[in-house]
A and B are shown apart, each in its own frame.
Chain A
Amino acid sequence: MEPAQFLTAPRVTIVAGKGGVGKTTTAVALGMAASSVGLRALLVEVEGKSAIGSLFGVGVVGYEEVELIPPGRGEGGLRARALTPDDALVEFLQDHGLKRVSNRLVSSGALDMVVTATPGIKDVLILGKVKQLERAGTADVIILDAPAAGHAITFLRSAQGLLDAVKVGLIESQAREVCELLADPTRCQVVLVTLPEETPVNELTETAFSLEDQVGVSLGPVVVNGAYPLLDGLDTDPEQAAREVGANLKRGEAESLALAANFRLERSALQQVQISRLRQELPLPQLHLPFVFTSQLTREDLASLADILIDEIGALK
C-alpha cells in the first residue's frame, strides 16, 4: 500500500497499547514517516508531560502547537501538541461564547466539579478537540498518542458513556460528534502496539476485540515493536567462526561472543513464537519495528524507525 494513502485514508490514527510497549515511539515514528512522504503531520499527546520535545530541541510540548520538523525539502512537516482536558474545556467554552463562565470556572475552582459531574467529559473534550482539528484540516495526518493500557478503551468509550448519562447541553452534541468520528472508518483508525511477548500479546488481543465490540472503531494494522533483527550462524562456536576467516580472538572474547549469541538466539526464538501466535489469534496485518539496541532512543533512531515503517506499510496489501 502507498504510505501516503495509508496515512491519510482515515486522517486520524489513534495509537494505543499498554505501558512500556513503545506506543509513543510508534506514534512519533508514524508522524515522522508521514512528514517524510510530504504530508503535514500533527502529533497529539494526551498524558501531560511528554519528553518527546527534547529529542527535537523544543523542550516540553504543551497545549500550544510546536514544530518538531519544519516543512520543506520534501518534508511535509511535523508539529506536536499536548492536549489537557482543562485547557480543552476552557477553549470549548470560549468557542461557544461562554468566556465568562470559563473564567469563573477556573477562578472558583469549580472546574473539578463540572468535570466530576459529567462522566467521561475529560476524554470527550480531548477527542472533541481532535475532531475539531480534523475538521479544520490543519494537518493531513493526525496521530493521537492514546492513554496507556485499559485506559485506551475507557478513553475511546467516553463519548458513548457520556451520551448515556447526559441528554442535553453543548457537551452532548460534542460527544455525539466524537462518536461519529470514531465510528467512521474513512475518518479514524486505531493502531495497536505490542511487544512480541506473551502477556502484551494477550492484552493486545483482548483490547482489539473490546475496541471492536464496545467502541466500534476501525482497527488498522498492529505494530509489533522490539523484535530482535535475525542474524545467521549465532549457534556457531566463536573460536570456530574465527578460524574460518583466519581471525584471532582476544582472551575471554569467545565467552562474551557466545553469551551475546545465546542470549540473542533465546530471545529471538521466544519472540518469533509470540509473533506467530498473534498472527493466529488476531487477523490483522502486522507492521514490524525492530528492537533498537540502545537504552535511550535518539532522534536518528526514530528517523530510521520511521523509514522502516514506510517500508512495512509499503509491503501491506
Chain B
Amino acid sequence: MTRRVVICCGSGGVGKTTTAAALALAATRAGRRAVVVTIDPARRLADALGLAGLTNSPSIIDGNWPGELYALMLDTESTFNGLVAKYAGSQEQADKILANRFYRNISGALSGTQEYMATEKLFELYEETDFDLIVVDTPPTRNALDFLEAPNRLARFLDHRLYRLLTAPTRGIVKAVNVAAQGFLRSVGKVVGGEVIADAIAFFVAFEGMDEGFKDRAKRVDRLLGSDETAFVLVASPRADTVEEASFFAGKLGEHHITVEALVVNRMHPDPGAGNPLADRKRAETFAGTTLGNLYTALADLRTVAQGEAEHLADLSERIAPAPVQRVPLLPFEVCDLDTLTRFGDVLLGSR
C-alpha cells in the first residue's frame, strides 16, 4: 500500500465498508496517518468503529498504534454547500443558491450526487490535508460506474443547452427562442406545478458564472481518479452475481485506463479439500438417517458451494491478473468494533 488514495468499490453487501476501514486501520498500525471516508447511510463503519455518529470532517479514532486513524461519514448536502461557498463570487450569490429549492433537490436527491460528493470529499482531503493515505468506501450502487463518472456528471448537467435556453432572458439573447421555450415550460408546469419551474430558472440564474469553476474542478478530480496515486480495490463476495458485477466493473475500469490494484473476496466458504460433492451426496444417501449420513450431507453441501465459488472466481482472477486476489473466509465473528476490525484486517492482509 504505497498509494495515497485507495478506492474500494463493488456491489452492496459484500463488505466494502469493512474492507475500507480495515485497510485504513492496517496503514495506521504500520505507522501511517490514514483517513477512511465512508458513505453508507447505514452507518456500518460507525458501528465498526464504535462511534455513535461520525461527522463530515475527519475525527480521530483512539487506539494503541503508531500511526493515526481518522474517519468521517460523507454528508452529501454539506459537502455540496461547501463547494458552492467555495466557488460563489460573493456571499450573496452563495446564499441565493443555498436557499433555492431546486438547488436543495440537486444537493440532496439528484441521482449521482452522492457519488459526486464522495469524489469531491476525496479531492478536498487530497488537496487540503496531509494524510498519508485516504481510503474511500463507495456508495452501494448497482452501477459502480456512477462513481467513476460522477465528477463529470454535474458539469454536463450544468452545461445542458436547455438550461442555456432557460437562463437566456438574463443574457438578453434572441427572444424568439425564449417564447417557444415558454410554451413548453407552461405544459411542463401543468405536470409538476409552475413553482418548480420558477425555482429551476432562479437556480440557473443564480448559478451563472460558477459553472466554469465547477467544471474545472471536475476535471481535476477526474485526473486524480486516473492518476498513479490512486488505487482501485475491487471488493466482491464469491457468489455468481457479485462476481459478475465485479467483472463488469473491472472491464469498465480498463476502458478508463485504470488498473485494478487488488481484488478482495469476502465471505469465502472454507475448502474441505479435493473431492467430488456428488460422491459425497451419494454416500449421504447410502447412510441416510445415521450420523455418518449427516456428516456426508454437511460435506457435500460445503463442497458444492466451495467449488462453485472457486469456479466463479477463476475468470475474474485471470481478468485482473497480475493483481492479487485476497480471499477472506467467512469469519466466526462479526466485525463490530476495533478489536474485530483488527482481526479482520489481519486475515485480509495475512492471506497475501
- The residues of A with any CB-CB pair to B shorter than 8 Å are 18-21, 47-49, 51, 93, 96, 98, 100-101, 104-105, 108-110, 112-114, 116-122, 148-150, 165-172, 197-199, 202-203, 206, 231-234, 236, 238, 241-242, 244-245, 247, 252-253, 255-257, 259-261, 263-264, 266-267, 270, 293-296
Contact = CB atoms under 8 A, between A and B. Distances in A.
A259 B12 contact: no
28 contacts: A93-B191, A96-B191, A112-B160, A116-B200, A117-B102, A119-B105, A148-B142, A165-B105, A169-B193, A170-B190, A171-B192, A199-B44, A199-B336, A233-B291, A234-B298, A241-B291, A247-B292, A255-B273, A257-B299, A259-B273, A260-B272, A260-B301, A260-B302, A263-B269, A263-B302, A293-B301, A295-B309, A296-B308
A120 B297 CA distance: 49
Given A119-B105, A241-B295, A48 B273 contact: no
Given A114-B188, A294-B305, 15 more contacts: A20-B242, A117-B102, A117-B200, A122-B111, A150-B41, A168-B193, A168-B195, A169-B196, A170-B190, A238-B292, A242-B292, A247-B292, A260-B299, A295-B305, A295-B308
B160 A113 contact: yes
B292 A245 contact: yes
Contact of A294 (B40, B111, B193, B308): B308
Contacts of B44: 199
B332 interface: yes
B162 interface: yes
A143 B330 CA distance: 32
B246 to A, nearest CB: 13
Contacts of A116: 102, 105-106, 110, 157, 200
A276 to B, nearest CB: 16
A169 B192 contact: yes
B287 interface: yes
B291 to A, nearest CB: 4
B140 interface: yes
A117 B196 contact: yes
A86 B50 CA distance: 41
Contacts of A266: 332
Given A20-B14, A231-B297, A259-B272, A294 B304 contact: yes
A257 B297 CA distance: 9
Given A18-B42, A234-B294, A169 B189 contact: yes
Contacts of B292: 238, 241-242, 244-245, 247
Given A117-B105, A256-B272, A270-B332, A18 B13 contact: yes
B65 interface: no
B191 A263 contact: no
B55 interface: no
Nearest to B17: A199
B296 interface: yes
Interface string B57-96: 0000000000000000000000000000000000000000
Contact of A109 (B105, B160, B189): B160
Contacts, number: 204
Interface in B158-209: 160-163, 184, 187-197, 199-200
A261 B298 contact: yes
Nearest to B333: A270
A298 B33 CA distance: 47
Nearest to B103: A116
B240 A118 contact: no
Contacts of A252: 273
Contacts of A241: 290-292, 295
Interface in B312-341: 312, 330, 332, 334, 336
A117 B199 contact: yes
Contact of B192 (A117, A149, A261, A264): A117
B108 interface: yes
Given A150-B42, A231-B297, A293-B305, A119 B108 contact: yes
A247 B303 CA distance: 21
A260 B292 CA distance: 12
B52 to A, nearest CB: 14
Contacts of B273: 252, 255-256, 259
A149 B163 CA distance: 34
Contacts of B184: 101, 104, 108, 110
B47 interface: yes
Contacts of B163: 113
B254 interface: no
